[in-house]
Amino acid sequence: MTEAFIPPAKPIIGDEERAAVDRVLRSGMIAQGPEVAAFEQEFAEHFKLGRACVAVNSGTSGLHLGLLSNGIGAGDEVIVPSFTFAATANSVALTGATPVFADIALDDFTLDPASVEASITERTKAIMPVHLYGHPAKMEQLCAIADKHGLLLFEDAAQAHGASLHGTPVGAFGAFAMFSLYPTKNMTSGEGGMVSCADETIARNVRLYRNQGMLQQYHNEVVGLNNRMTDIHAAIGRVQLTKVDAWTKTRQDNAAFLSANLEGVIVPAVAEGAVHVYHQYTVRVAEDRDGLAKALKEEYNIGSGMFYPVPNHRLKPFQSPVELPGTEQAARECLSLPVHPSLSQGDLERIVAAVTALAKAGA
Ligand SMILES: Cc1ncc(COP(=O)(O)O)c(C=O)c1O
């Protein structure tokens, strides 16, 4: 095997990020401070959210605090997809509420509105779709269901910086939305999360919960946590904000090339009116997905990912008897191919040739 390994993801950190970190370290002020405040404002403006953003130390914290800030707690149910990273359901469970798993639609791997409506009980308080892989969830139908039943709507936008639906950016639909800033996401702050808040009361609550329940030192208003972002992380995030649009464009171009040329797999669809930002480029492999992924690595030196092979409703902490056929099929068939902005044209051609050859050979 002579060709270089193509990794499934590759965080990009440049001289500007290094200089920004150095600037903060030299300032002597490294915990939450002016860099965090500037990052919050710039993030809201950049993604045209038109609302307050509050930075925290991870996407998971962002979900947790967003839920707490909307009064979610013991006795409540929140409808979530099972086909997502466990952080979605974990954050609900950590508030004391119960995550209720609804099915996804296979066209875009996001919540199926019919399954959501069928999952509503008298304890349901909210619906929390995930904009999985960077494709917006079916927000128009989900907002209508939430309105009809008097439910809150939240957004897990961990993977969807810059995605939109009919011109509305994800992160501007729900009472709150969370963007993850983990290194493999479309932009990073090292670790971190950004909470977009529909109103000032929610934003204030998130600020309280992230800082031991205080806005003013030693005037604690509620029981809170330390989920603060540091100025070091915010400084990285501020630089990445200036680069994320170009990276997203490259992801979209890479995805267009893959979709135009791959054969033997089901390529991702984009809904009418949706802007997909391709955090992942996920195909469906009807026969022997695992064999294809193994051969891609061993025979062609190409990495890939399975997000997510075990649906949340079957994970040990959640074991739920619900039947979710779309979720089960996606978990069996999904395969995420490299789409990140560091791919060369040669890499893309290698991916197309290898996947097409393996798919046609039945892996
Ligand atoms: C869909 C989804 N939700 C939540 C999270 C949690 O974000 P973080 O890793 O920043 O805590 C992630 C990140 O992997 C995610 O992909």
Nearest protein CA to atom 8 of ligand 1, as residue:
59
The pick from 56, 176, 180 for probing ligand 1's pocket by mutation, whose C-beta has the most ligand atoms within 8 angstroms, reads: 180
Residue 58 near ligand 1, beta carbon < 6 Å: yes
Per-residue pLDDT tens over the stretch 82-110: 999 999 999 999 999 999 999 999 999 99
CA distance 24 to 34: 10
| Burial class of residue 107 (count of CB atoms within 10 Å of its CB; 0-12, 13-18, 19+) | middle
129 lines ligand 1 (CB under 6 A): no
Burial of 163 (0-12, 13-18, 19+ CB in 10 A): buried
What is the rounded CA–CA span in Å between residue 194 and residue 185? Answer: 13
Quick one: average pLDDT of 170-186?
A: 98
State if residue 113 touches ligand 1 by the CB under 6 angstroms criterion.
Answer: no
> Quick one: pLDDT at residue 7?
97
Average pLDDT over the chain, rounded to an integer: 97
| Confidence category of residue 1, pLDDT binned at 50, 70, 90 | low
Q: Which of 10, 1, 2 has the alpha carbon at shortest distance from 303?
A: 10
Are 53 and 157 contacting, i.e. CB atoms less than 8 angstroms apart?
no
Instruction: Kindly state the tokens that stand for 40.
Output: 């919050």
Chain position carrying tokens 């996606």:
330
What is the H or E stretch that residue 117 is in?
A: helix 113-118
Fill in the DSSP letter of residue 196. Answer: E
Q: Confidence class of residue 251 from pLDDT cuts 50, 70 and 90?
A: very high
| 181-222 per-position pLDDT tens digit | 999 999 999 999 999 999 999 999 999 999 999 999 999 999
pLDDT for res 363: 57
In this predicted structure, which of 1-15, 19-33, 253-267 has the lowest mean pLDDT?
1-15
* CB-CB contact of 278 with 258 (8 Å): no
| Residue 40 pLDDT greater than 70, yes or no | yes
**Helix (H), strand (E) counts: the chain:** 12, 12
Q: Report the distance separating Cα 26 and Cα 223, nearest Å.
A: 33
Report pLDDT for 151: 98
Find out whether the beta carbon of 88 lies less than 6 Å from any atom of ligand 1.
yes
Structure tokens at 132: 């999985």
Q: Whose CA is nearest to atom 14 of ligand 1?
A: 85
Count of other CB atoms within 10 angstroms of residue 164: 21
Two structure tokens written together for 284: 């469906």
Share of the chain above pLDDT 70, in %: 99
Q: In this model, does residue 233 exceed pLDDT 60?
A: yes
pTM: 0.98
Contact 159, 185 (CB under 8 A): yes
What is the distance in A from the centroid of ligand 1 to the CA of 185?
9
Instruction: Kindly tell me if the per-residue pLDDT of 2 is higher than 90.
Output: no
Model confidence at 280: pLDDT above 60? yes
Give DSSP secondary structure letters for 68-112. HHTT--TT-EEEEESSS-THHHHHHHHTT-EEEEE-B-TTTSSB-
- Token look-up 């409808």 returns 79
Contact at 8 Å (CB) between 85 and 59?
Answer: no
Report the percent of the chain where pLDDT is more than 90: 98
307 Cα to the center of ligand 1, angstroms: 12
Q: What is the pLDDT of residue 353?
A: 98
The two three-digit tokens of residue 141, written as one number: 């139908």
Q: How far is the CA of 349 from the centre of ligand 1 (A)?
A: 30
180 lines ligand 1 (CB under 6 A): yes
Non-local CB neighbours of 152 within 8 Å, separated by 6+ positions: 70, 72, 125, 126, 127, 146, 174, 175
Question: How large is the average pLDDT for residues 131-145?
Answer: 98
Cβ contacts of 214 within 8 Å, gap of 6 or more = 208, 220, 221, 224
Each residue's pLDDT tens digit, 53-88: 999 999 999 999 999 999 999 999 999 999 999 999
pLDDT at position 362 is 76
Place of tokens 């797999």: 265
